[in-house]
Amino acid sequence: MDIADFFDTFFEEAEELLSDMEQHLLELDVDDPDSEQLNAIFRAAHSIKGGAGTFGFTVLQKTTHILENLLDYARKGELTLRADLVDTFLEAKDIMHEQLNAYRSEEEPNQEAFERICQTLQQIALDEIGERLDAPAAPAAQSQKSQSSSSSDAEAAMEEEAGGGHLLVALLNVDEKERILLVEELEQLGDVHAQSGDEKRYEVILKSSVSADDIEAVMCFIIEPEQISITATEVEAVEPAASQSDSPAPVAKTPPVPAAKASPETSKASSTGKEKPKKAAPESASIRVSVDKVDQIINLVGELIITQSMLDQTVSDLEDQSVGNSSLQNGMSLLQRNARDLQEAVMSIRMIPMEFVFSRFPRVVRDTASKLGKEIELITEGKSTELDKSLVERITDPLTHLVRNSLDHGVELPDVREAIGKPRVGKLTLSARHQGGNILIEVRDDGAGMDRDRLLAKARENGLNVADTMSDEEVFQLIFAPGFSTANEVTDVSGRGVGMDVVKRNIQSMGGRVEIQSKLGEGTNTRIVLPLTLAILDGMSIKVGGETFILPLSTVLESLQPSKDEMYAMAGDDVVIKVRDEYLPVIAIHEVLDVENAITDPTKSIAVIVQGEGRRYAMLVDELVGQQQVVVKNLEDNYRKVPGISAATILGDGSVALILDITGLHRLSRYKKEAGKKVVNNQNLSFFKEAEPS
């Protein structure tokens, strides 16, 4: 097996290690650093260095090596930490992340950034410790190339001096296939002088310039840490070991002092001369699977659900024909239950906790607050709340915009807060929780809140159609208008009038909506409501003419039978319906989508009250069919974008039903009115009251 097969594993694990490193650095108290946190940061850098060296990622290896040395001094108490040093370590972590992405894309990392961060770290070593840091030794597989291209005699001498070490590498409870692969990897790290043993314990004598820690870091990309033990061995032990290489007996003459990461059991066995029985290595609790494979399974389960619905429809038709069969009915009930359980189980595979999103924001808040000169405490709630992986990846950018907006426009400067009786440190809260079939994500701050009058004045300056009678919620939604900004000056944080409209558009593209609650002087709460997944949808089936449509159940508030007294004709041929003292725009689906043979008399239709873009609408439909789960099929991938339609699904009878886009239907309705196509025909306008609501 080629070592390149493990590239993806290295990239994923290195990504996780860099994320852990950043989190620990952000949480680190420089005045009283936690030794466990310092050790965790050091171990993360050390593991990345070992893997990078083995895979030949030289730039990443060298960057991490210098950072690792500084971290080693810090954890030993020889380097006094300060806030500016932590900032430099965070910058180094960012550059390491860029280098990792470059290698993932099979490109060379940015040489200028590499030289700059190395120079910065070396300068810290000179200023704080009084010496330059050693360059990393190249792996054995790369040593000849390194020595031929190296211009430093000191580096070559160091590598030559380090090249004579002998190590006893013990592989514990490793099957033959893994053992062969591991020995091949060891041959890349040095010269294998002897090997012997069995599946329970297989020992390899290795001469290498690579440290025991680095070898273990590389091996742990293939096996668990409990399955490898590395100890130093005497040079004279190599000869008898080589002569016994065909024997199953373990190699003898290991010294009593193990290498840095040898297990306690190995140390005891070495000193007493007796082998303590080893515990079997625990099985891994998780496996890494390509997202494409998971998506394929979800798609197949979706097809299975559709097939099950078709069979259910067929059985219902047989019942109508009085052809009863209890066995068939029982079988269908069991199939329906199992299919639902399978669907939920498969969908849960793609669900990941919001912690993956929230973990990015301590750094965002720290850097942004530093630029703005503000003091911010970040609070996260509901990190274990799960969301579909595809949505997690897409929600990060909108959330980043909202967080930066709260920090810039919401939370006041420390002196201002103190003057008005608030704590100098502002609070920003990120929370997530389930709400029905949706997830509710909130960005809350205890800042200045939104000034309604200022927003209206700014909207009028920008030429927006606003009125003093608008509700607070409608006024707050103005910040999502394209080009709208209340910033007094343009900075690198905000003020360009771009971003917030993109936030709203992106959230709507995920089937969600964004709401704002604010109180002047007390703070702002921005709420994002998203479906848990885009693959399966709880919907309400409706009939309009001979067509069946699906309304997302999360948008449906209620349904009612309109009466003539509740309907009003407005200026400009708009029609509204009065629902509990609130006038809602009426959207006749048959007019907007040109559906034939539909009910045109509103009093004989059903008004379904729905919510979208923070507003409520009344949609006129012929009939409510019922509630059901539907498998969402992307319409753009299979056809093209259709105004007013978000996706499609296949019903139990095999027919295709379109899933309606609430906000898209409203926009389409307005467009048709402007184009001269009325929601109600001119000859029917007399049906409605002519008096406009006050």
The residues carrying an active-site annotation are: 46, 68, 405
Instruction: Give the rounded distance of the alpha carbon of 10 from its chain centre.
Output: 19
- Answer whether 510's CB lies under 8 Å from 534's CB: yes
- Answer whether 514's CB lies under 8 Å from 480's CB: yes
Q: What's the first-to-final CA gap in the chain, in angstroms?
A: 78
| Amino acid at position 529, single letter | V
Distance CA 350, CA 368 (A): 32
- Answer whether 511's CB lies under 8 Å from 531's CB: yes
Structure letter (DSSP) for residue 84: H
* Reduced DSSP (H G I as helix, E B as strand, rest coil) percent helix, strand, coil of the chain, to 5: 50, 20, 30
Phi, psi dihedral angles at 195 (to 5 degrees): -155, 140
Phi, psi dihedral angles at 228 (to 5 degrees): -135, 140
State the number of CA atoms in the 13 A half-sphere of 162 facing the CB: 20
Residue among 610, 563, 606, 565 nearest 585 (CA):
610
Spell out a b/e string for 311-343, using b for 16 or more CB atoms within 10 Å of the CB, else e. bbeebeeeeeeeeeeeeeeeebeeeeeebeeeb
Q: Which pairing describes strands 386-388 and 351-353: parallel, antiparallel, or unpaired?
A: antiparallel
Distance CA 591, CA 574 (A): 13
Q: Which residue has the tokens 């000193």?
A: 271
**Can you say whether the dihedral through the CA atoms of 145, 146, 151, 154 is positive or negative?**
negative
**Start-end of H helices in 386-499:** 389-405, 414-419, 452-461, 472-476
- List CB contacts of 31: < 8 A, sequence separation 6 or more: none
Distance CA 349, CA 341 (A): 13
**Can you say whether the dihedral through the CA atoms of 678, 680, 686, 689 is positive or negative?**
negative
Distance CA 412, CA 419 (A): 11
Structure letter (DSSP) for residue 655: -
| Amino acid at position 4, single letter | A
